[in-house]
Amino acid sequence: MVTTTWAPVPAGSGFGVENLPYGVFRPVDGAARVGVRIGDHVLDLAAALGDPVFATPSLNGFLARGRTEWSRVRAEIGSLLTDPARETDGAAALHPLTEVTLHLRFAVADYVDFYASEHHATNLGRMFRPDSAALLPNWKHLPVGYHGRAGTVVPSGTPVVRPAGQRKAPSDDAPVFGPSGRLDIETELGFVVGAPSTLGSSVGTGDFAEHVFGVCVVNDWSARDIQAWEYVPLGPFLGKSFATSISPWIVPLEALDAARVAVPTQAPVPLPHLRETEMWGLDIVFDVELNDTRISRPPYAQMYWSPAQMLAHMTSNGASLRTGDLFASGTVSGPERDQRGSLIELTWNGTEPLRLADGSERTFLEDGDVVTISATASGPNGTRIDLGEVTGRIAPTPA
């Protein structure tokens, strides 16, 4: 059975007491502070729990407290929302979502992006290396990734300005500089680090939940033409660093217990430091909409590398974790065409345009286009946990 609550949660809502995601909100008559979403309301944690760590415009202070405190507070919030004797006090701390402003909920320390979908990597390999193996030799031995730019991680709803950059098509004699003509999306799952680690030490796969607090939905916008010219030999740079959008809510790992599944069979068997002691695949399904037309439903359960393996690889050289670190999965794609998580795959590098509900076609994004990515996860007793959505509108390159 679904746990009952006195809070006004609409029937079928994915934001019941099984979820309780964290965010930062600003009420009309106060300063920004930390809250938890319940139904179509946000619970002011500073008011409800009396803890000053929540009376700040950032989750970082709470994230740094670690797993024991994360579990204790989650249990306390659950008790508050399910105890009829506490309804009067709890209801006084509720704010309708329509009456608050949502903010970026943690200060991003570092940002790392991975490339963990075998289907995505294979699709791109077939496009760009048709006469060679789709996957490069290292791909099944380690989670490939790159270090991104934390300063351009932005909250959902932030306009995405079309980036300008240097690009050169194979038929061009010389590179040119100007607005990207191949602006793309990447449907991803983000992981937010709470507890830091010590420089020079590594974090094993079994310690994943000791350091990672929760997940969010990510759109890692990509300028494919800029990326194609710049990435040799050091990888992504300006084609990725202009914007990464994240959803308003961080869903705690504890809310995803029912979504945990095994990753697909990994062959060859990973080296010992990347072998999992627990299952950290996740049964999460994304919905991708372009101008209100659903164009894809990527399944996260198909991801080859788990987030625990990503974290273990990221720290295997002794690199330290900091509170507020964000790492993302890379594009989530499945085996079917309607499960591809990027336009470059959905249109096969622009050769197979998508037709939208209004009759228009797209290969890559045009100015004014709106992309919305949402996600749900398996919850207890057949329920669905809502991860929220991340939205961005494309704005033209400044003159």
Give, for 345, the enclosing helix (H) or strand (E): helix 343-346
pLDDT at 91: 96
Nearest alpha-carbon partner for 151 in 105, 108, 104, 190? 108
Nearest alpha-carbon partner for 25 in 103, 106, 107, 108? 103
User: Known binding site for Ca(2+): residues?
Assistant: 113, 186, 188, 220
Nearest alpha-carbon partner for 384 in 256, 297, 279? 256
User: Known binding site for Mg(2+): residues?
Assistant: 220, 240, 244
pLDDT at 345: 98
What are 207's two structure tokens?
């310690």
pLDDT at 131: 92
List phi, psi (to 5°) of 134.
Answer: -65, -40
Which residues, in sequence order, are bridge partners of residue 373? Answer: 288, 390
3-state class percentages of the chain: helix first, strand second, coil last, to nearest 5: 25, 30, 45
- Burial, 64: exposed, middle or buried (Cβ in 10 Å; 0-12, 13-18, 19+)? middle
User: Known binding site: residues?
Assistant: 113, 115, 129, 186, 188, 220, 227, 231, 240, 244, 331
Place of tokens 């959902």: 156
What are 163's two structure tokens?
């980036």
User: Structural domains in the chain?
Assistant: 22-102 (2.30.30.230), 111-395 (3.90.850.10)
Q: What is the Cα–Cα distance from 46 to 42, expressed in whole angstroms? A: 12
pLDDT at 399: 85
What are 271's two structure tokens?
């080296």
List phi, psi (to 5°) of 149.
Answer: -115, 110
Place of tokens 């507070």: 73
- Give the per-residue SS3 of 38-80: ECCEEEEHHHHHCCHHHCCCCCHHHHCCCHHHHHHHHHHHHHH
Residue 299 per-residue DSSP state: B
User: For the chain, first and last CA: distance in Å?
Assistant: 57
Nearest alpha-carbon partner for 236 in 274, 193, 186? 186
Query: CA separation (Å) from 227 to 56, 109, 269, 397?
Result: 38, 24, 32, 17
pLDDT at 2: 54
Residues contacting 232, CB < 8 A, separation 6+: none
- For 301-342, give the DSSP string: GG-SS-HHHHHHHHHTTSPPP-TT-EEE------SSGGG--S
**Annotated catalytic sites, by residue?**
120
What are 270's two structure tokens?
């990973």
Question: pLDDT by residue for the chain (399 residues), tens digit each?
Answer: 457 899 999 999 999 999 999 999 999 989 999 999 999 999 999 999 999 999 999 999 999 999 999 999 999 999 999 999 999 999 999 999 999 999 988 999 999 999 999 999 999 999 999 999 999 999 999 999 999 999 999 999 999 999 999 999 888 999 999 999 999 999 999 999 999 999 999 999 999 999 999 999 999 999 999 999 999 999 999 999 999 999 999 999 999 999 999 999 999 999 999 999 899 999 999 999 999 999 999 999 999 999 999 999 999 999 999 999 999 999 999 999 999 999 999 999 999 999 999 999 999 999 999 999 999 999 998 899 999 999 999 999 998
Nearest alpha-carbon partner for 238 in 324, 177, 318, 321? 177
- Give the per-residue SS3 of 199-246: CCCCCCHHHHHHHEEEEEEEECCEEHHHHHHHCCCCCCCCCCCCCEEE
Using only C-alpha atoms, what is the Rg of the chain? 21
Give, for 91, the enclosing helix (H) or strand (E): helix 87-91
Query: CA separation (Å) from 373 to 145, 247, 287, 385, 393?
Result: 22, 9, 6, 15, 12
pTM: 0.97
Residue 348 per-residue DSSP state: T
Q: What is the Cα–Cα distance from 151 to 330, expressed in whole angstroms? A: 18
User: Known binding site for substrate: residues?
Assistant: 115, 129, 227, 231, 331
How many other CB atoms are found less than 10 A from the CB of residue 231? 15
